[in-house]
Amino acid sequence: MKEKFWKFWLCAVFCVLLGATPLWAAEEGKSLVVGLASDALYLDPQQQDETITNAMTSHLYDGLLSMDSENRPKAALAESWELADDQVTWTFHLRKGVKFSDGSPFTARDAKFSVERAKNTIIKSIVAAIKEAIVVDDHTLKIVTEYPYGVLLEQLGQLRLVSKAYVTRVGDDEANLKPVGTGPYVCTEWIREDHISMVVNKHYWGKPPVITNVLFRPITNAATRTAALLTGEVDLIEDVPVRDVERLEKDSGIEIVARPGTRLIFMHIDANREPTPAVEGPVNPMKDQRVRQAMSMGIDRELIVRVALNGSGYPTGQLILNGKRGHVPDRPVPDYNPDRAKALLKEAGYEKGFKVKLDAPNGRYPNDSQVAQALASQLSKIGVEIDLNLHPKSSFFDYVRPGDKSSLVMTGWAEPIDAGETGNVLFYTRNKTPGKGNSNRAHYSNPEYDKLIDEADATANVALRGEILEKATRLILEDVGVIPLYFNKDLYGKKKNVKFTPRADKFILAHEMNIE
C-alpha cells in the first residue's frame, strides 16, 4: 500500500514554470480537452521516439526546423540556412529574441548542446549523420555532416531543442518532470495516466495560439473515449473505433474526420540469432527463409483488417506508403496461402511446427491486442504455436527494444521521411554503426541491406537516394526480414465547433486548432 501511495505521488508531476499558471484553465481564453489513446512516456523530447510522446513535446519545444502537416520541413528556430560548396557544411541563422519558458534566452549554444545530447539518447539515429555542431555566434550555428546528407533538414525537423543551462543545472530526470522549452505552451501539471495540463507560453516567439488552455486526457479504453465525446467531457478524440462511427455520426454536434495513416503495423522476426530468446532449445526455426515465408503466407491480412480492425486499415506488403522514397511499386499484398505455408514448413523440417513467443502491445495501437490474438490463431493453423505475451504501452517499448528477450514482435512505425530512416532505426545491424539499428528488436542483420542504407545516406541526390532505398526495401522484403501487415486508417471524432485537420504524423497540436 505504501508503495502504491509513493508511486502515485511520483506520478503527480507538477510542471510549475516561471510565467505559467499552475491550474488547469486558469488562463482566460479558449479551452480544449483532448482524449488520447494513451499517455506520453516522457516530456523530455529526447528520451523517447513515440507518436503521442512526440506530439506532447511538440507543444513544449521547438526545433531548428519543424514538420508541416504533410511531413515537409519548414523554418522554426532557424529562420534560414545554406549549404556550402563542400556539400557537408550547413549554416543555420537562428531567430533573435527567442526565450525559453523560464525567461532565459535561446542561443546557438542550446542548439549545439541539444544535438550533442541527442547522440546519447534513444533518438540518436536523427543526428547520426552529424559530425560536428559549431557555435559561430549567439544566432549562428554550423552543422557539419559526415558525408553529403540529402535529408538533414527532414531529420532536424524531428529534433526538438532543450535549454543547456536548465538541463545541466537540474539533470535529465528533473528536466523531464518540469519541462522548459521554447514551444507555444508550458506544462502546468502532469499526472501520469490521468492528464497533462498546458497553458500558453507567455514567452513564445511565434504567433500566440488561439487555444490558451489544453487538457490532454489519456483514455486507453476506446469505448470510454467514445462515451467521453458523446457526453461532452472531451472536445476531440483519436482512434475512433469503426464500430462507433455510425453512432457518433448520428449526433448532430459531432463530426468524424479521417485520413489514410502513415503507421505500418508489422512483425519483427529474428532471422539471424541461434539460439533465439523466444524459442525453446538451441535451434531458431526462423533462420530458415522458408519458415519466414510460411509465416507470412499463413497470415490473412485482409481478414485481420476486416474483422479485428472493423475495416479501419489497409493490408500491405510494403514498408512505406506510395509516394515515399523506398516504396516498391510492384510489391503486392502477400497472398494468404495456408496450404503452401504448411508445405514450406515441411520442406524446412518443421512438419510438426514449432512454438515461439510473440510480444505485442495492449493499448498502444487501435485494437492491437485483438490483432495479436488473430495472428496467434492464424499462425497456429499452419503449425506455428504462438505464446502470446501482451504488454501495456508503459512497459512495451522498453521490454522489446533491446531484443534480448524477444524473437517475434508485433509493433508499429509511422515514417515521416523515407525507408532510409525506417531502415536505420529498425533493420540496420545493431551495434555496427553509431546511431543505427537502435530499435532493431529482432536483431535482423544483412550486410547487403546495411550497405544499401549507407549508400543512400551518403548521397545528397534525393532522387538517387530513392532508387537505392527501393533496392534496399525490395531486398529485405524478399528476404522476409520483416513481415508487414497493414497501414492504419486514422479516425478522429470531434465536436463540430472544433476546427481540426489531421496531420500525416498523427500529431494532435492545439496551436494548429481553433474553437468557434
Q: What is the pLDDT of residues 342-379, one digit of tens each?
A: 999 999 999 999 999 999 999 899 999 999 999 999 99
- Half-sphere CA count of 183, side-chain side, radius 13 A: 31
Q: Is the peptide bond before 332 cis (omega within 30 degrees of 0)?
A: no
C-alpha Rg value of the chain to the nearest Å: 23
Over residues 232-255, the pLDDT tens digits come to 999 999 999 888 999 999 999 999
- Half-sphere CA count of 220, side-chain side, radius 13 A: 15
CA distances from 113 to 73, 106, 107, 159, 327 (A): 21, 11, 10, 12, 35
End-to-end CA distance of the chain: 46
Could you tell me the three cell numbers for 287?
533462420
pLDDT the model gives residue 433: 93
Q: What's the topology of domain 261-489? A: Dipeptide-binding Protein; domain 3 (3.10.105)
Candidate from 7-21, 39-53, 469-483 with smallest mean pLDDT: 7-21
DSSP 316: -
Mean predicted confidence (pLDDT) in 178-189: 98
Distance CA 209, CA 219 (A): 25
pLDDT the model gives residue 242: 83
Distance CA 298, CA 267 (A): 13
Non-local CB neighbours of 6 within 8 Å, separated by 6+ positions: none
pLDDT the model gives residue 26: 42
Distance CA 232, CA 268 (A): 40
Under CATH, to which class is 11-216+496-515 assigned? alpha beta
DSSP 30: E
Query: Which residues of 274-398 form beta strands (DSSP E)?
Result: 313-315, 354-362, 384-392
Q: Do domains 11-216+496-515 and 261-489 have the same CATH topology?
A: no
pLDDT at 29 over 90: no
Distance CA 360, CA 396 (A): 8
| Mean pLDDT score of the chain | 93
pLDDT at 330 over 70: yes
pLDDT the model gives residue 56: 98
Say what percent of the chain tops pLDDT 70: 95
Q: How confident is the model at residue 25 (pLDDT cuts 50, 70, 90)?
A: very low
Bridging pattern class, strands 30-36 and 313-315: unpaired
Phi, psi of 448 (to 5 degrees): -65, -40
pLDDT the model gives residue 28: 67
pLDDT the model gives residue 435: 87
pLDDT the model gives residue 147: 94
pLDDT the model gives residue 9: 38
Domain residue spans in the chain?
A: 11-216+496-515, 261-489
What's the whole-model pTM score?
0.85
Q: In terms of Cα–Cα distance, which of 340, 327, 337, 379 is closest to 357?
A: 379
Q: How many helices (H) and strands (E) does the chain have?
A: 15, 20
The answer to whether the CB of 382 falls within 8 A of the CB of 341 is yes
Over residues 466-509, the pLDDT tens digits come to 999 999 999 999 999 999 999 999 999 999 999 999 999 999 99
pLDDT the model gives residue 424: 94
Over residues 375-397, the pLDDT tens digits come to 999 999 999 999 999 999 989 99
